[in-house]
Amino acid sequence: MADVRGWARLLPALGAADRRRVETGLVDADARIRAVIGRTTTYYWGASVTRTPEWTVTESWSAELRRRAALAMHLEAATSSSPTALNDVLRNLADGGPEWTRADLLWCLEVAGRGHGYDDAAHLELPATIAGHLTPADLADLAPALSALFAELTTRHVPSAGPRRRVVTLIGEALDRATGRRVPSWLLHHGDEFGPLVRAGLGDVLAAPGVAELLTHCASLDKPAAPARWLRVLDGHLASAADGKKAVHAVLAAFVAHHRSVHDDTDRLLRGLAWALSRESDEAATDLLAGVTAVASAAPRQASGFPHAQRTAIAAVRLLAERAGEAPVRTLARLAVTVKNKAVRSRVQTALAHLGTLRGWSLSEVMELAVDDHGLDSDGCRRTPVGPYEATVRVEGEKARLTFARGGTALKGVPAAVKETHADELRQLRGLVKSVNATLTSERQRVEALLSEDRTWTYADWVSRFPDHPITGTYGRRLLWETSTDGRRWSAGLPRRDGDGWTIVGLDGRPVPGDRVRLWHPVRARVDETLAWRERVLAAGLTQPFKQAFREVYLLTPAEERTGSYSNRFAGHILRYRQANALMRARGWQAGYLGTWDGGYDSEATKLFGGGAWRASFHHQLVDTDDPGDHDVHHCATDQVRFARSDGATWRPAPVADVPPLVFTEAMRDVDLFVGVTSIATDPQWADRGEDRFRDYWHRTAVGPLAPSAQVRRDALARLLPRMAIADRVTLTDRYLHVRGTMRGYRIHLGSGNIMMEPHDAYLCIVPARGGTGRLHLPFEDDPMLSTILSKAIMLAADDTITDPTVLRQLVP
């Protein structure tokens, strides 16, 4: 037997006479019930034993025989080393008429406290059922042990959800009868921080007449969609409980303020409360429901795929999409680009599409119109008086910052007086900065995603949604746009403020005509035009929010036309898996994890393009290690890229030749990024691994032909290097940047960043210092390899000043 559990030590002693009465006849009853169960083995895994024809014989047993059989099966469930799912058997026998006593419950708790606890919680089925049949007097001296058992069940997640919830409910109800509690213990319990917080802060509201019954009903909802009968009962509780609506609002508002993950039981309660809130149609209810949806869908930073309350999120997303006003649009649009959980994200996309249909908008337009301006003016600024000071929240670049001034004089940091006497206002201002930064992050992703869409705007809409928008403007004002008067001939330019308005000016500095606007993409531009705009972006010192002028272009190849249904352009590479998976998710791709389990050897990463009309799939496989004892996934091998077109609720595979150029180039660019950043070819130390099985791949790829991303990098270097102090010591060729140092000559591969020392092509491994490019202006910030190559070139051009001994040892001929 196992050691007695902590809660079992609180049990009062069972008298000898009571023990004999409980245990009398158990051996015979055990044989009788085992004989019945043995005849049902053919049904055992397909249906409950209690629903088989053989089980009907137990219906003729006396109440005493059923009691003894239940006790015998409880002993089996709690002490057997081979656990058997006896939950249904125990419930059926226990509810079949036996007169249960305090001694029966005490004996069952003793057995459960000494035995095993399995995921099916069968060892607690009988004591929980018996507890439900006893009077408060019978339970009084068992309350301490029941309370400790209840706490263990709610704070641990060992039993599976269904059995645990049933046991927790029954024991909680028994505990409430023993202690006289008005609010059920199993509601808002100690399994998370939220339950005790609400009980402490809202005790009077929860104890009001009819509120406990309302909460109990809300917690009984088993599915995201509430059935009509459940809603009728809900409406009855809301009508009969005087403080019912107040309780619904108070608990949900507390959850929004809590903004943390909750227990599964609490999640179920909140889901029902969200439905209760949806019965109100006013704006305040909509705003609260929007807050609940946002918090429930959010996730801890260290576990981005696990929302704070997933069940509530799924239900609330659907409910929010049916509401009027701007809050639903804003909330759902933001979640569409921030939620990582696949189940919630797919429902957000569906809800947005539904909301767009109701309002006559496309999905892309829904997300565009929903961007929150946070009360900032068109310059991205919001000023607020705080006592004698003026606080300013301003968007600078791609971050919001909070500053203070007094009498027009800017101050460093937050004044001490503000911290001491205006703490609440300071907290709100810092919360505003956090919210603005969250919107900036999601907007950057949304605007970049527009590059795969063939969207056009009227000039007025473009001005209000991009250059004049306090959030989106920080991106829109640094991007290239095209205008047209007829939709056939387009002219490119950069936004420029003229007086009180905005205009788009071309390479010659003059406004380009047109009443329609679209986002410029190099795949639709002539080569000479693209090169000219690259030079203009550099000359103007403009840092674009993401690669646009220097964006890579991927056109369909003859090989892809021959394969027809897929592209093998980036197949056959070996990637560092954890880094690759993290990068896929950061770029908005959804991918299952690879692992050494059934179905874990292959994965398909998917992402929507073209405003959701197209889906790209990037296939990759696990690469086994040479160590049979190592079950971790270190590397993956790349495979095909495929495309599918949306057809209502289904996806239909499409030939690569049918994929729009914008969609094709944007999808292939992402895959090239995965390979270019996470391939083992970018690790110079791989050259020293001797007979490593990937060594040939490393050598072939580390110095191989340049992919489109590296070709764009070469063009950027060709324009940057003449502006640098090392210009006379570097030479750019097809694949390499040659650097002439004082000690040796070097070649840096433009794709992998690997360095070979002349004249013997020995590999040099160095880790460049951060910020090695000094104050050199870069036209974009989303190519870390460009910065790495420049940092290495600057270091090697002055190799006689290197002091790092690990580098110096490699430089000695």
- Residues 66, 71, 73: CA angle, nearest 5 degrees: 95
Cβ-Cβ contacts under 8 Å for 49 (sequence gap 6 or more): 37, 40, 43, 55, 88, 89
- DSSP, residue by residue, 385-422: EETTEEEEEEEETTEEEEEEEETTEEESS--HHHHHH-
Can you say how many angstroms the Cα of residue 7 is from the centroid of all Cα atoms in its chain? 38
Terminal CA-CA length for the chain: 71
- CA separation, residue 548 to residues 208, 554, 590, 789 (Å): 61, 14, 24, 21
* Distance of alpha carbon 19 from alpha carbon 26, whole angstroms: 12
User: Is residue 645 within 8 Å of residue 651, measured between CB atoms?
Assistant: yes
**Amino acid present at 314:** I
Q: What is the pLDDT of residues 132-189, one digit of tens each?
A: 888 999 999 999 999 888 888 888 765 666 778 888 888 888 888 888 888 888 889 9
- The pLDDT of residue 620: 95
> Which residues sit opposite 518 in a β-bridge?
482
List of the chain residues with pLDDT < 70: 1-5, 41-47, 81-84, 96, 119, 157-161, 626, 684-693, 699, 702, 767-777, 813
* Distance of alpha carbon 678 from alpha carbon 784, whole angstroms: 12
Cβ-Cβ contacts under 8 Å for 566 (sequence gap 6 or more): 560, 640, 641, 642, 656
- The pLDDT of residue 772: 47
- The proportion of the chain whose per-residue pLDDT surpasses 70, expressed as a percent, equals 94
- The pLDDT of residue 693: 65
> Which residues sit opposite 511 in a β-bridge?
505
Cβ-Cβ contacts under 8 Å for 14 (sequence gap 6 or more): 22, 103, 106, 107, 110
Q: How many residues belong to the chain?
A: 813
Nearest to 270 by CA among 315, 227, 230: 315
Cβ-Cβ contacts under 8 Å for 580 (sequence gap 6 or more): 620, 636, 674, 678
* Longest CA pairwise span in the chain (Å): 104
- Pairing mode of beta strands 745-749, 755-758: antiparallel
Q: How many CA atoms lie within 13 A of 797 on its CB side?
A: 20
Backbone angles phi, psi at 590, to 5 degrees: -100, 125
* Distance of alpha carbon 379 from alpha carbon 502, whole angstroms: 13
* Distance of alpha carbon 38 from alpha carbon 445, whole angstroms: 61
* Distance of alpha carbon 616 from alpha carbon 666, whole angstroms: 10
What is the torsional sign of CA 710, 712, 715, 717? negative
- The pLDDT of residue 393: 95
Question: To which H or E segment does residue 63 belong?
Answer: helix 63-79
Q: What share of the chain is helix, strand, coil (3-state, %, to 5)?
A: 50, 15, 35
- The pLDDT of residue 769: 54
Q: Residue 796 has which token pair?
A: 């090697």
Is the previous residue joined to 708 through a cis bond, with omega within 30 degrees of 0? no
Nearest to 716 by CA among 561, 530, 567, 568: 530
- The pLDDT of residue 15: 92
User: Is residue 793 within 8 Å of residue 737, measured between CB atoms?
Assistant: yes
Q: What letter does residue 159 receive in the DSSP assignment?
A: S
Residue 284 burial class via C-beta count within 10 angstroms: exposed 0-12, middle 13-18, buried 19 and up: exposed
Question: To which H or E segment does residue 644 belong?
Answer: strand 635-647
* Distance of alpha carbon 609 from alpha carbon 606, whole angstroms: 10
Strand order in the sheet with 399-406: 381-386, 389-396, 399-406, 409-411
- Pairing mode of beta strands 381-386, 566-567: unpaired
**Amino acid present at 406:** R
* Distance of alpha carbon 213 from alpha carbon 252, whole angstroms: 17
- The pLDDT of residue 52: 84
Q: What letter does residue 593 receive in the DSSP assignment?
A: P
* Distance of alpha carbon 384 from alpha carbon 426, whole angstroms: 11
- The pLDDT of residue 687: 53
- The pLDDT of residue 521: 96
> Which residues sit opposite 169 in a β-bridge?
none
* Distance of alpha carbon 808 from alpha carbon 802, whole angstroms: 7
Nearest to 48 by CA among 56, 38, 40, 57: 40
Q: Residue 607 has which token pair?
A: 């992402």
- Show contacts of 200-208: CB within 8 Å, 24+ apart: 201/254, 202/247, 202/250, 202/251, 202/254, 205/243, 205/246, 205/247, 205/250, 206/182, 206/247, 207/182, 207/183, 208/241, 208/242, 208/243, 208/246, 208/247
Q: Residue 201 has which token pair?
A: 């802060």
